[in-house]
């Protein structure tokens, strides 16, 4: 049944889509299809119909974008503006995002298949908050002073680094783009954004909003095209100083090799296989809610998804029974329907990849307790829909428990002791997030630092204050972004040593 809200979103999509059917790069402040005649098509995951065509940046387009960003950094106003002025412009971007929130959400939902409610409420508003937050932070960048007796004053200043390549993935593209663009511009850098090719639409709205807010030409550029071509060209380019990358671990490793010759500064936000530990003494109702939302929201295509659920044996059977009931009830449907909880996967290739893991898990001996089939509703037949899947009795060494599936699949593993839970939780190559459910404070305090993860949530779902560092350990990434940690990456620290008097200088070349 079509609700009023769904009808509103669908009508809005019909109005907005024609305007973005032909996407364009942004180079030096101008929307352009560039020099190449090559294009690629973005598909609606709910129908697999084409929704937009994007140009593929040629090597000449990459060169023009990099040179525009370089000029804007070396000679342009952006890095030279007072921080308060940059902040004013960034706040205008935040306002622009809020003013067009419905439009952004509808395009993003249509491009990615992620349910509109999860995009509209969480992702788009968070994207606006990113600009407000980093506007504020930009005015608070400070240095440190190191007085040395009365002879020296040593102090530090933070300067923008230069030209940044910002390479983003297809899951929640708009929010993740702002997560990079906002701190990058706030610190006074210039950038070239390279969005993922499976979800290119919302980046064009971001580009429009950035321009309307008054970011000068060249400070923000946007290039479309395959990562192996355009992303690598940016990472290899000698005039690019920084690469902030979010994506798969294997891509990140490759990118670092490409950037090594020109010694790029990298921020790497990579894959995950995050554990959720549920002890018998936990608030099990809340733990159940969080475990389900943590892996099946955003269609399971979520870097911090709690995709391994470790449950204490004494409650295992009842907890699994409750999980099965709930997972069976999850509403799969049109992403523009506000009642939908899980939408179609981003692409047929991603669907096939996830189905491959479903087959593998069964070959490995795990029990597929519920889900994993294509929905029977004929209205969903053309889309990349999959019912959320629950594997139980999973062994920690199985590939489904080790590898990132990046889809709506939860693996449940029993444990008997705290030591065993910790061993299983840490027994993967990733270390992005971990979630811990227990009412024993001592246990929580003991386990939280011992879990090998960049971020640990205790009795909490994945909520995060923007001041806190975000990032992973092990093969989930290098570096942290968020709060001032973003400026560790997007600024250069310079130490200045000033003599306050006439300290002794050893004299050379003055003879005996």
Instruction: Determine if 251 is a binding residue for ligand NAP (CB under 6 A).
Output: yes
Distance CA 292, CA 325 (A): 11
- Spatial distance between the Cα atoms of 325 and 228, rounded to a whole number of angstroms: 43
Q: How far apart are CA 512 and CA 509, in angstroms?
A: 9
Among 29, 216, 226, 338, binds ligand NAP (CB under 6 A): 226
Q: Tokens standing for 71?
A: 């000029």
How far apart CA 488 and CA 450 sit, in angstroms, is 25
- Applying CB under 6 A, does 312 fall inside the site for ligand NAP? no
User: Interaction with ligand NAP in 173-192: which residues (CB under 6 A)?
Assistant: 176
Which CB sits closer to ligand NAP, 231 or 483?
231
> Any contact of residue 270 with ligand NAP (CB under 6 A)?
yes
Contact between 103 and ligand NAP per CB under 6 A:
no
Beta carbons within 8 Å of 30's beta carbon, 6+ residues apart = 217
Overall residue count recorded for the chain in this entry: 512
Residue 167 or 412 having the CB closest to ligand NAP: 167
Q: Which of residues 50-69 bind ligand NAP (CB under 6 A)?
A: none
For ligand NAP, give the closer residue by CB, 57 or 320.
57
Site for ligand NAP in 476-495 (CB under 6 A): 477
Print the binding letters for residues 140-179 with ligand NAP: x by CB under 6 A, - otherwise.
Answer: ---------------------------xxxxx----x---
- Label the pairing between strands 389-392 and 409-415: parallel
Task: State how far the Cα of 420 lies from the Cα of 437, in Å rounded to an integer.
Answer: 15
DSSP 266-309: EEEE-----EEEE-TTS-HHHHHHHHHHHHHGGGG--TT---EE
Contacts with ligand NAP by CB under 6 A: the residue count is 31
Q: Which of 61, 269, 452, 475: binder of ligand NAP (CB under 6 A)? A: 269
Nearer to ligand NAP, 331 or 467 (CB): 467
Q: One symbol per residue from 366 to 385: x for binding ligand NAP (CB under 6 A), - otherwise; what is it?
A: --------------------
- Catalytic residue, chosen from 108, 269, 341, 475, is 269
Shortest reach from residue 350's CB to ligand NAP, in Å: 8
Task: Please report whether residue 248 would count as binding ligand NAP according to CB under 6 A.
Answer: yes
**What residue number has its CB nearest to ligand NAP?**
227
User: 246, 274, 384, 438: which one contacts ligand NAP (CB under 6 A)?
Assistant: 246
What are 277's strand-pairing partners?
310, 436
Please name every residue paired with 165 in a beta bridge, in sequence order, or none if there are none.
Answer: 192, 243
Smaller CB separation from ligand NAP, 78 or 170:
170
Of positions 131, 133, 406, 457, contacts ligand NAP by CB under 6 A? 406
Q: Please answer whether residues 460 and 483 qualify as being in contact, where contact means their C-beta atoms are separated by less than 8 angstroms.
A: no
The distance of closest approach from Cβ of residue 354 to ligand NAP in the complex, given in angstroms and rounded to an integer, is 12
Where b means 16+ CB within 10 Å and e means fewer, 207-222 reads bbbbbebebbbbbbbb
Among candidate residues 303, 404, 452, 481, the one labeled active-site is 303
Is 269 noted as a catalytic residue in this protein? yes
* 17, 202, 239, 240, 322 from 67: Cα distances, Å: 32, 25, 8, 9, 57
184 is catalytic: no
Residues that are catalytic: 269, 303
């Amino acid at each position: 049944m079509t609700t009023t809200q769904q009808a509103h979103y669908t009508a809005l999509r019909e109005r907005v889509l024609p305007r973005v059917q032909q996407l364009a790069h942004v180079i030096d402040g101008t929307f352009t299809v560039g020099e190449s005649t090559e294009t690629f098509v973005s598909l609606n995951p709910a129908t697999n119909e084409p929704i937009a065509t994007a140009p593929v940046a040629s090597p000449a387009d990459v060169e023009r974008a990099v040179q525009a960003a370089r000029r804007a950094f070396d000679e342009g106003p952006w890095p030279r503006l007072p921080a308060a002025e940059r902040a004013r412009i960034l706040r205008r971007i935040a306002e622009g995002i809020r003013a067009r929130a419905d439009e952004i959400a509808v395009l993003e939902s249509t491009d990615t298949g992620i349910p509109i409610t999860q995009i509209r409420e969480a992702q788009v508003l968070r994207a606006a908050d990113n600009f407000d937050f980093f506007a504020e932070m930009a005015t608070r960048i400070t240095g440190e002073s190191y007085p040395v007796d009365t002879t020296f004053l040593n102090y530090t200043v933070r300067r923008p680094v230069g030209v940044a390549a910002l390479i983003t993935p297809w899951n929640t593209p708009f929010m993740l783009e702002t997560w990079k663009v906002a701190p990058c511009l706030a610190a006074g850098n210039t950038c070239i954004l390279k969005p993922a090719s499976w979800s290119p639409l919302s980046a064009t709205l971001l580009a429009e909003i950035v321009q309307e807010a008054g970011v000068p030409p060249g400070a923000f550029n946007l290039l479309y095209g395959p990562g192996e071509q355009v992303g690598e060209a940016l990472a290899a380019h000698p005039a690019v100083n920084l690469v902030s990358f979010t994506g798969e671990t294997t891509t990140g490793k490759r990118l670092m090799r490409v950037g090594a010759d020109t010694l790029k500064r990298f921020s790497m936000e990579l894959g995950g296989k995050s554990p959720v530990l549920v002890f018998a003494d936990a608030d099990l109702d809340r733990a159940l809610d969080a475990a389900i939302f943590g892996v099946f929201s955003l269609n399971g295509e979520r870097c911090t998804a709690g995709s391994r659920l470790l449950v204490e044996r004494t409650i295992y059977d009842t907890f699994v029974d409750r999980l099965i009931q709930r997972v069976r009830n999850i509403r799969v449907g049109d992403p523009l329907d506000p009642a939908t909880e899980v939408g179609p996967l981003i692409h047929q290739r991603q669907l096939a990849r996830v189905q491959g893991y479903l087959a593998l898990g069964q070959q490995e001996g795990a029990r597929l307790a519920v889900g994993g089939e294509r929905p029977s509703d004929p209205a969903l037949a053309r889309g990349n829909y999959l019912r959320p899947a629950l594997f139980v009795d999973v062994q920690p060494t199985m590939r489904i428990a080790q590898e990132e599936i990046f889809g709506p699949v939860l693996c449940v593993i029993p444990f008997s002791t705290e030591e065993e839970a910790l061993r299983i939780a840490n027994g993967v190559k990733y270390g992005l997030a971990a979630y811990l459910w227990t009412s024993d404070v001592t246990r929580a305090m003991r386990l939280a630092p011992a879990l090998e993860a960049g971020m640990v949530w205790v009795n909490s779902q994945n909520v995060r204050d923007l001041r806190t560092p975000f990032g992973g350990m092990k093969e989930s990434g290098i570096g942290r972004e968020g709060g001032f940690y973003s400026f560790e990456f997007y600024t250069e620290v310079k130490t200045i040593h000033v003599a306050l008097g006439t300290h002794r200088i050893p004299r050379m070349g003055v003879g005996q």
